[in-house]
Amino acid sequence: MNKTKGTIINLILALGILVVVFPFIYMILTALQKNSYVLPHPQDLFDDLIHFKFYLGNFAKAWTEGNFQRYFMNSLVVASFATVVGVFISALTAYAFARFQFPFKEPLFKIFLISMMIPGLFNIIPIYTVVHSLGLVDTYSGLLLVYVCTGIAGNTFFLRGFFEQVPREMEESVVVDGGGRWTIFRHIYLPMSKPAIATQAIFAFMGSWDEFFVALTLIKTESKRTLPIALQMFQGVHGTEWGLFFSASLIALIPSIIIFIIFQKYFVQSGQNEGAVKG
């Protein structure tokens, strides 16, 4: 009985995978096709697959074209910093809301929440003027500032809940040892909320890794641009070379997958910290 059920569940999951993965396979097959401004015939793609006829020129071209590698590194730096700084500041703020008592705390938190409901897309011009008046246009500091700060509301909202579920009794051991709020935060809250913070880190990384609008607006020097801008450059005015565009997109996907693999093991730790994140 249990065995058939197991088979069915595994089968459903495997079928689902097909649906999720297939678009990517098709993307890879297209990337392995030589020069296609026009739609390739699907049958041709599959025939090439069967005959192992792969063309790697698109990947080579995408990787070496223009400043692609440089943009790749730029993005890596920006996204890494934005993740570390962003998660740290949001954790501090979330801790403030979770474990401190101060006047207007809840109204303030409500404002955090409301701000998330107004579409951020249109904030770009006011944000630009702020960065401009700080003299940070065309700098990574400016870009980081925007990435970190625009994420604060959402991240705080997410982390506060996790912090509040850390049992307060756990603080006592630190207090007994004479530790203050900071020690409690560092030695209890951060480690206890590892799954939440790992999740947050992935989102923060993805958010800045893929961000296009702000980066293009703030960064003026070509050599300082980030990867999403390079991807857009593969979209021509009068036609797109699909193979080239998809090759570049696939290369851009690799760091995200690596980050996910690194963080996911912290992410969900079955059985280890029972009670830390109560449902």
**Touching other proteins, residues 118-177 (CB under 8 A):** 118-130, 132, 135, 137-138, 145-146, 148-150, 152-153, 156, 158, 160-161, 164-165
Nearer to other proteins, 42 or 191 (CB): 42
139 vs 26, 74, 131, 211, 260, CA distance in Å? Answer: 38, 12, 10, 16, 28
Residues that bind other proteins (rule: CB under 8 A) add up to a total of: 128
Please identify which residue in 38, 56, 60, 175 interacts with other proteins, judged by CB under 8 A. 38
Within residues 80-109, the interface with other proteins by CB under 8 A covers 89-90, 92-93, 95-96, 98-103, 106, 108-109
Kindly state the smallest distance separating residue 63's Cβ from other proteins, in Å: 16
Phi first, then psi, for residue 202 (nearest 5°) are -65, -45
Binding pattern for the stretch 179-198 against other proteins, x by CB under 8 A and - elsewhere: --x---x---------xx--
Kindly state the smallest distance separating residue 56's Cβ from other proteins, in Å: 20
Q: Are 214 and 127 in contact (CB under 8 A)?
A: yes
Contact status: 42 vs other proteins (CB under 8 A): yes
Kindly state the smallest distance separating residue 57's Cβ from other proteins, in Å: 16
Nearer to other proteins, 69 or 264 (CB): 264
Please identify which residue in 24, 47, 175, 262 interacts with other proteins, judged by CB under 8 A. 24
Contact status: 2 vs other proteins (CB under 8 A): yes
Contact status: 32 vs other proteins (CB under 8 A): no
Within residues 214-273, the interface with other proteins by CB under 8 A covers 216-217, 220-222, 228-229, 231-233, 235-240, 242, 245-246, 249, 252-253, 256-257, 259-261, 264, 267-271, 273
Q: Which residue has the tokens 């770009």?
A: 124
Cα(201)–Cα(88) distance, integer angstroms: 10
